[in-house]
Structure 1
Amino acid sequence: MKKTLLASLGLTLLLSTSAGAAFAEDADSVPVAKESNLTSLLEYHEQEPNDNFEQANYYFIGDAVIGTLGEKVQGTWENYDVYKIMAENKSSEVRFTIQGDKYSDSWLELTLYDSNGQKIKRSRNGQYFLNADLEKGKDYYMTVTALGLQPGGHIFDYKISSEVVR
């Protein structure tokens, strides 16, 4: 019985390895697009605290991050989150999109800063997107701010995603 079981397991392993190798050979012959249109490779939740540049969560172009504003976090009411971005591959225009609630008295705003903390660009008039040119190898910071939000007011659950436009 042991010999039959071991032989069966060995055969299964051999077949799965052979199938994997055959698939890999086929995959080499399939043309692959240079840039993907995927809007999110990975989705994750923010990690608190991330309320200033020193505590910023890393954010990678093409990923999506889920966050919350308007709650008490570690005893402090929060209306601001910070993410650190590094343009890795090449200089390109990136579109950041934020999905979240819109209220008549408060809304979300995206602001992009350079590595020295100088404001580069921000979303305007309640627009929930921001296009920006990012240079390869440079660090940037993206902030999400709940404007008009009062302590104990609305709670914003949001999702930031991005894609290379050109």
Structure 2
Amino acid sequence: MKKTLLASLGLTLLLSTSAGAAFAEDVDSVPVAKESNLTSLLEYHEQEPNDSFEQANYYFIGDAVIGRLGTEGVPGVWENYDVFRIKAFESNNIQFTVQGDRYSDSWMELTLYDSNGQKIKRSRNGQYFLNADLEKGKDYYLTVTALGLQPGGHIFDYRISSEVVR
């Protein structure tokens, strides 16, 4: 009985050691990227109200947010402007992109502000992207605005995303 038990125990130890070594070899042979370039870690919907710097939704670089302009966001308040607060955890050049509807008489615009509400940069001439340098540790505000929009007119469903350019 002792011999059978010892033989069984020895075999179990041998198999577990072999499996562990094989697993370690498999892990070592898997290439690991030194830098990850994920374009969208998380996608979520904006939360109303987010129509001022004080009410801004948090937004993280690499995430995507879905929103809507041209409707009643909060009862009695017509939406043509959404605000997102960004904390720069690294200094990088970021490209913000807004995807959504384009009309001949109205369009969306992205604008970046510093933490004091001073305009830094905005998209131009109907461009649906904005590149900007963000400094590590600083807060920023990104707005998406529907220009040329009239109450009861067009509705803009949009998606804002971002990626590190360098």
Which aligned segments of 4 or more residues in structure 1 are displaced greater than 4 angstroms? 22-29
| 1:59 alignment counterpart | 59
Give 1:76-155 correspondences, 5 Å limit: 76-88=77-89, 90-155=90-155
1:131 and 1:49 map into 2 onto residues whose CA distance is 26
Q: TM-score, normalised by structure 2?
A: 0.82
Question: Bigger radius of gyration, 1 or 2?
Answer: 2
1:137 and 1:108 map into 2 onto residues whose CA distance is 28
Q: TM-score, normalised by structure 1?
A: 0.82
What is the aligned-residue identity percentage? 85
- 36-45 or 98-107: bigger deviation: 36-45
* RMSD over equivalenced CA pairs, Å: 1.9
**Secondary structure in 2 matching 1:73:** coil
Task: Confirm or deny that 1:50 pairs with 2:50.
Answer: yes
**Secondary structure in 2 matching 1:85:** strand
2:123 and 2:46 map into 1 onto residues whose CA distance is 21
* Residue 31 (structure 1) shift: 3.6
Amino acid at match of 1:87: A
1:25 and 1:117 map into 2 onto residues whose CA distance is 54
Query: How many pairs were matched up?
Result: 145
* Residue 38 (structure 1) shift: 2.2
Amino acid at match of 1:106: S
5+ residue gaps, structure 2: 1-18
